[in-house]
Structure 1
Amino acid sequence: MTVQLGREQRLAGGHWLLGSAPSLQEARADWEESGSAWLRPGALFGAVIIRADVVHAALGADSPIECAPLVDVDGPVFYSEDGFGREGSYTALVPASVALVWGVNGSIPHHRRALLQVPAPNAVRPERAGSPWWVVPLDGPGSLCDPDLLAALVKQGTGTPGVAEGGPGA
């Protein structure tokens, strides 16, 4: 029963994310065919992109597979092989308002309204070369990362002191 509930929560989260697709039908078909689709953050959620080496340093792990069980930011995070230039990256889904003011070294906010390649809800392992996959899967509609936990993770990976007064954007 628990496995079914997790699957249902991911599916519900996926339906919610589709609300940010330029074309609902095209995004749904892309998820089924290629395992990822282009969505437009800005209204439903924002995104913060973190260099893979920063997350690996923070968690003391060398790969996304090793990091997956260790990432604890209370929300969905996915890995892309080339999400930070030509370097691997982790993308955390955050409240849209957080992405507008984010300013933590070692990470960047994804530009509001720019397309973002997001894995299908069931892409929870690196099964397709070059396709993003969920390190921390969706946990239902509206489930987003805690900005303070995310900032602490990034700062730990860059060796920067804890969250400054004023929050993640400070």
Structure 2
Amino acid sequence: MSTATDAGREAVADWLAASLNRPDNAHQEWADNGVAVLALGRRFSAYRLADELVHAVGANTGPATTSLILRTLGGPVIHDPRGHRFYVLVPSSPPAQNLGPYATYLGLGNYLGVPRVEDDEPGEAGASYWAVPMKRPGALCSPPAVTGLINAGTAALTGQAD
């Protein structure tokens, strides 16, 4: 691993940890547990998407893989294989309306278990990992792209035409 990569990952970890009043707590949780519980709604928020929502978009777009679909959102995505959920990190702002049954906006007052920035592959234990890693501090997903994915997935799952 290169020094630039290490420095970039450290910068991302520091930025994420700063969502807490005591950022050192996040670094300690990552060291001890591999996951830190971070506050949402200050630096970033998240959309929780059911696995089936994301997979439904893939089924309707032909050979596109889940990874390719998630990369179109323009920012970081965490996958929780145990909970069968994706967490799409977005700027803190009001949520999109009418999210449907497969998506939930998590903002101020919510917390999210965030894996170490270097955990970007599914592990044997089924722990959360970065399905799409954060490239640089503050680089988050596009809310309109997330809304588009939610709408497309919901339409596919409910049999509605676009």
CA distance in 1, matches of 2:161, 2:25: 44
**Which residue of the partner structure matches residue 106 of structure 2?**
110
Give the superposition deviation at 1:113: 2.2
CA distance in 1, matches of 2:161, 2:99: 11
Give the 3 Å change call, closer, same or farther, for CA 111–45 of structure 1 in structure 2: closer
Give the 3 Å change call, closer, same or farther, for CA 116–128 of structure 1 in structure 2: farther
CA distance in 2, matches of 1:74, 1:98: 19
In the TM superposition, 1:31-46 aligns within 5 A as 31-46=30-45
Aligned residues of 1:22 and 1:39 also touching (Cα < 8 A): no
Give the superposition deviation at 1:50: 0.5
**Which residue of the partner structure matches residue 79 of structure 2?**
79
Aligned residues of 1:46 and 1:98 also touching (Cα < 8 A): no
CA distance in 2, matches of 1:141, 1:102: 27
CA distance in 1, matches of 2:34, 2:42: 23
Aligned residues of 1:45 and 1:93 also touching (Cα < 8 A): yes
Summarize deviations over 1:117-167 as a string: whole Å, max 9, x none. Answer: 1111111011252421101101111111101111111111111666xxxxx
- C-alpha RMSD of matched pairs (Å): 2.4
Aligned residues of 1:42 and 1:112 also touching (Cα < 8 A): yes
In the TM superposition, 1:44-55 aligns within 5 A as 44-55=43-54
CA distance in 1, matches of 2:117, 2:97: 25
Which runs of structure 1 show a deviation greater than 2 angstroms over 4 or more consecutive aligned residues?
3-11, 21-26
Q: Which runs of 5+ in 1 are unaligned?
A: 163-170
Summarize deviations over 1:40-83 as a string: whole Å, max 9, x none. Answer: 0111011110011000111239xxxx522431100110101344
Give the superposition deviation at 1:6: 4.8
Summarize deviations over 1:8-54 as a string: whole Å, max 9, x none. Answer: 43331211000013542232122123221100011101111001100
Give the 3 Å change call, closer, same or farther, for CA 94–153 of structure 1 in structure 2: same
Give the superposition deviation at 1:116: 1.1
**Which residue of the partner structure matches residue 57 of structure 1?**
56
User: What letter corresponds to residue 144 of structure 1 in structure 2?
Assistant: L
Q: How many residues are treated as equivalent by the alignment?
A: 152
The more displaced of 109-118 and 131-140 is: 109-118
The more displaced of 103-112 and 40-49 is: 103-112
